[in-house]
Every structure is written in C-alpha cells, then in structure tokens.
Structure 1
Amino acid sequence: MSTPSTAPILSAALATDVPRLVHDSGADTAPGVIVVHSRTTLGTTLVVHLAGEIDHFSAAPLQALLASAADDGFTGLVLDTERVTFADSGFLAVLDWWARHGRRLRLANRSRAVKRLLHAAAAATQHPAQADALTAAATS
C-alpha cells in the first residue's frame, strides 16, 4: 500500500541536480567477443573452432583472419560454431564474403544461435507464408 506524499525523499540540502538521461533503447552497444578457440589446416582447407559472440564488431578480426588465409591460398573453410552463443548479420557478411569469392564453406556443429540466424536468413528469402513458419520454428 502506498500513500501519496508531496514531501521530497531527500532534503533540499542532500538533493543534487542529476542530468537528464537520454532514453536508452535497450540495445547493447558493447562489442561482442569472438574467440578463435583453435585453428588447424587440412591441405587447402582451414578449420576454425569459434567461441563467444559474433556481431558487427567481433566479425572484423574474423574477417581479417579469413582474408589472410585466402591470401595464403586456402580455398576451403570449416567453421565449428558449437561454442558460439550469439551471431548476427556480421557473421553472415563474413560467410557471404568467403563464399562469394568461389571458396568452399562448411559450418560444423552449429550452435543454437547460429541455427537461429541461418533460419532467419533463409526465412527472409522465402515466400512470406514459409518465412513465418521458419521464423516460428527458429525461435522455439
């Protein structure tokens, strides 16, 4: 139960002016962290085990690693994403960049976050009725 009161919570001597806060939309502006857990090679195929979060910011070092591998002659890529806890369009951009240049790509041990992202991306290219079904399945 509450009772209305007009008395200030703090006395005027203790109260300080606090600047107004800009409304926070709730978006996390901190960059994600992706870790290359391990890296091996099989001929011209690079095998990378990832862990953590892949977003716009953390995808840049991954992109640099893959660009270096491409420069070194690697034409195949296996990404183990079992330990990836979050992935967004930054990850899709890296995958698209690798495949767009005629290189082979395989995602192994897809984490729940990666599966959800791939389903959402597939849904965006499907018929609207199919997209709704895929999106519902990806989020359940």
Structure 2
Amino acid sequence: MSTSTTAPILTAPPAAPSPSVVRDAGTDTAPGVMVIDSCTALGATLVVRLAGEIDHYSAAPLRALLASAADDGCTGLVLDTSRVTFCDAGLLAVLDWWPRRGRRLRLANRSPAVRRLLDVVAASADEGTP
C-alpha cells in the first residue's frame, strides 16, 4: 500500500533573515598567522624566531611554548622578531607574562611592526595613560 501526501516538509514558516553585519571595508576579520620559525634551548635560555602576524588568537602557540619552557626551568628568552609583519597587544600580553619570577627577556632584531607597537606603548607610558 502506498500513499502520497502534499503536506509541506517544513511546518513552521522560515525565520526572518538576520540583519547583515556592517564592517569597515578595511577591517580584516581573519585571525593572523604566526609561525614559530625556530626554537633552540641554550642552557636555561630559549631562543625563538617568529614570523608572520601576531594577534590574540595566533599567539596561542607561543603562549603554550613559553609556559612549557618556564615549567622546564628556562629563565631566559631571546625573541627574534625580524620576520614579524604585524603585531598587536596579543604579543604584549604574552611578553608581559614571561619576566615574572625573575625570568629575563630580550627582543632581538625588532621588525618595523614590533618597533611601532613598542613605540606606541612607550608613548602611552610617557603620557601617563594606563
């Protein structure tokens, strides 16, 4: 026995379309891509060479690497940023954590992007801006 039906598959009316999101035409919504190009331990000092873009999301591998290095007893960090093309406060958040508990930090070969970020931070500190 077979029956046919003409009842609609969807019983509820379709939902109203969601309003479109307006973004600045110059805004990049994709997270950056940061690459840990090399990582070498020299005694208790970790030497890390970074490349690409560093933001809050792409800095996660660096945060994990540094946490592991700190747990393993590394007390020094040399960070080569010569190949970093973009960075924001995501990099600062990672770097702010490292010097705690007597660990040393040195930024080597600062790229123009890193220099700009550090200049902005220094200017804010000079103005007394929190």
Q: Give the alignment's TM-score, normalised by structure 2.
A: 0.80
TM-align CA RMSD? 1.9
Number of the residue aligned with 2:83: 83
Number of the residue aligned with 2:71: 71
Gaps of at least 5 residues in structure 1 are 1-18, 132-140
The alpha-carbon deviation at position 114 of structure 1 amounts to: 0.2
**SS of the counterpart of 2:98?**
helix
The alpha-carbon deviation at position 118 of structure 1 amounts to: 0.3
1:88-124 alpha-carbon deviations (Å, 9 max, x no partner): 0000010000013321000000000000000001111
Number of the residue aligned with 1:45: 45
Number of the residue aligned with 2:107: 107
- Per mean C-alpha deviation after superposition, the further-off stretch among 68-77 and 24-33 is 24-33
**SS of the counterpart of 1:52?**
strand
Q: Aligned residue pairs: how many?
A: 112
**In percent, how many aligned pairs have the same letter?**
69
Number of the residue aligned with 1:4: none
**SS of the counterpart of 2:28?**
coil
Number of the residue aligned with 1:127: 127
1:10-57 alpha-carbon deviations (Å, 9 max, x no partner): xxxxxxxxx863211343221111101111111100000000000010
Number of the residue aligned with 1:24: 23
Which has the larger Rg?
A: 2
Number of the residue aligned with 1:3: none
For residues 23 and 127 of structure 1, the distance between their equivalents in structure 2, rounded to whole angstroms, comes to: 34
Aligned AA (1:49): R
**SS of the counterpart of 1:68?**
helix
Gaps of at least 5 residues in structure 2 are 1-17
Please state if 1:56 is matched with 2:85: no
For residues 89 and 49 of structure 2, the distance between their equivalents in structure 1, rounded to whole angstroms, comes to: 19
For residues 53 and 104 of structure 2, the distance between their equivalents in structure 1, rounded to whole angstroms, comes to: 23
For residues 96 and 81 of structure 1, the distance between their equivalents in structure 2, rounded to whole angstroms, comes to: 16
Q: Of Structure 1 and Structure 2, which has the larger fraction of its residues in helix?
A: 1
Aligned AA (2:122): A
**SS of the counterpart of 2:110?**
coil
Higher relative contact order (CA 8 A, sep 6+): 2
